Chains A and B, each alone.
Chain A
Amino acid sequence: MKATLFDRYGGFGSVHKVVLSFYDKMLDSDIVGPYFDDVDMAALVDHQTKFISQVMGGPASYSNEVLEQVHRRLGITQEAFDEMTGLLEETLVEFGFKPEDVRTIMTSIRSCQPYIVAKG
């Protein structure tokens, strides 16, 4: 079996830094930040941990149905989605991810867009 990105980048021992950095960026952003205004810290960290783990092939796996279900009520705009993917890309580059791996992750996230962005 091919090693997942999660394993290749050092498992949770390294990936947790990506999680926290991405979490900081998301909160500091005025576009995506407001979505988290009423979310408590533990729930938010939980969300980011699962998210990064999912996109890197770590121990989380959410079906498209689940993604759609949890994001449905949040009314996420296209702008917010693009901001989020931008921030993630920035984070991954900062942590020295190889360009092809960044591309793989970005492609995988963009494929989830229909389940996350609210339908106008």
Chain B
Amino acid sequence: MPQSFKLDAFNALLLDSVGVGLIIAAYPGFEVLFRNQRALACFPGLADVGARLSGAVLGFDEGALRAKLDAGEAFKVGVEVKLRRRAQSLTLTATKASFGDSAWVVVEVSNDTKVRELESMIASYSKMVEQQNRSLKKEKERAEKLLLNIMPESVYKELKTFGVTTPQRYDEASILMLDFVGFTQLSVEHDPAAIITELNDIFSAFDRIAEQQGCERIKTIGDAYVAVSGLPEPAPDHAQSIARLAMMCVRYVKRRNQTHAIQSRCRVGLAPGPVIGSVVGIQKYVYDIFGPGINLASRLEALAGPMEILVSEEMYERLKADFVLEAQAETDVRGFGPKQIYKLLGTEGMTLDIEPAPAGH
């Protein structure tokens, strides 16, 4: 009998002071008989006379509620209510309590809002951190790519691991020096942007060829291109590699001229020799190489005619078995005295001449 439910002042006070909301309803009618202050704060409608669990205030599904309670189980439902402007996420658990002949429904109202708020905050924070990590990673990759452009990968790894690099001596290496004839003149005759694009295209192609031939581009200085073979990994055939690189670069420029308005003419000098490779600079890194072979290659390049490759005698000795070379008149090379020099003409299956452009170009 619902009317038999009576609480004395002490018990009412006790139920008001517990940490959860409590609603006690009649069974089987579901009329609300008692609610403590916490439950009332969440559902002000409970104060109405005749409020029922399945009514507008709580909105329990009466059939489902009855089924659960009759089976002796708890009926659970999650509810969102807004108190002032704060969304509260509540879990309501209804259970049946029997005393003798009478039975009641006890509904416990627990507030999970803080947990939900924390969950949202963690979600928000992790998303932020993940995003930050992604952009840091991208940034790092960009920086790495830039550094790999200016130094060999093995040197970069050393720098990354130890923070410093030690200069390395390479006894067996070959150097290529290449530049363009009349480039300065070209740059004033044409649109500067077009010239730079041109140079960029050509050097990028050289880089690809160098990589393919196992050579390293060391640097470009204006229109000059400096590459080396035999470092950082020693290669017994460094002279052959650099000679193939030289030939392929000249052939590339020839072929390019067939289809491009701007005509480029390059000249190349090759020399072997011991070199020292090192990162130079603290804030601005440059990987550079030093050694007499570099100067010699540079002098030979200056002596070469357009689309010619000149090599030193030491280079000739290494190449003569596999390449076609032509002796030149002995020439006085600045800083080196009179030198026998050779012109590189080709190798088996490859000459500097290229077939005419296909029709239609």
**Residues in chain A within 8 A of chain B (CB atoms):** 12, 16, 19-20, 23, 27-28, 33-34, 36-37, 40-42, 45-46, 48-50, 53, 58-60
Known: A28-B84, A41-B113. 20 other contacts (CB 8 A): A16-B125, A20-B114, A20-B117, A20-B118, A20-B121, A23-B117, A27-B84, A27-B85, A27-B86, A40-B87, A41-B87, A42-B116, A42-B120, A42-B124, A45-B120, A45-B121, A46-B120, A46-B123, A49-B121, A59-B129
Contact flags B183-203 to A (C-beta < 8 A → 1, else 0): 000000000000000000000
Q: Which residues of B contact A12 (CB under 8 A)?
A: 125
The 8 A-B pairs with the shortest beta carbon distances in the complex, nearest first, are A46-B124, A45-B120, A42-B120, A59-B132, A41-B87, A49-B124, A59-B128, A45-B121
In angstroms, Cα B85 to Cα A37, docked, is: 5
List 12 interface pairs A-B (beta carbons < 8 Å), by A numbering: A16-B122, A16-B125, A20-B114, A20-B121, A23-B117, A27-B84, A41-B86, A41-B89, A41-B116, A42-B120, A45-B121, A50-B128
Interface of B is mostly: helix
Q: Which residues of A contact B114 (CB under 8 A)?
A: 20
CB closest chain-B residue, reference A26: B85
CB closest chain-B residue, reference A61: B132
Contact flags B24-43 to A (C-beta < 8 A → 1, else 0): 00000000000000000000
Contact flags B63-91 to A (C-beta < 8 A → 1, else 0): 00000000000000000000011110100
Q: Is A34 a contact partner of B116 (Cβ separation < 8 A)?
A: no
Q: A112 → chain B, closest Cβ, in Å?
A: 18
Q: B133 → chain A, closest Cβ, in Å?
A: 9
Q: Is A41 a contact partner of B128 (Cβ separation < 8 A)?
A: no
In angstroms, Cα B86 to Cα A37, docked, is: 8
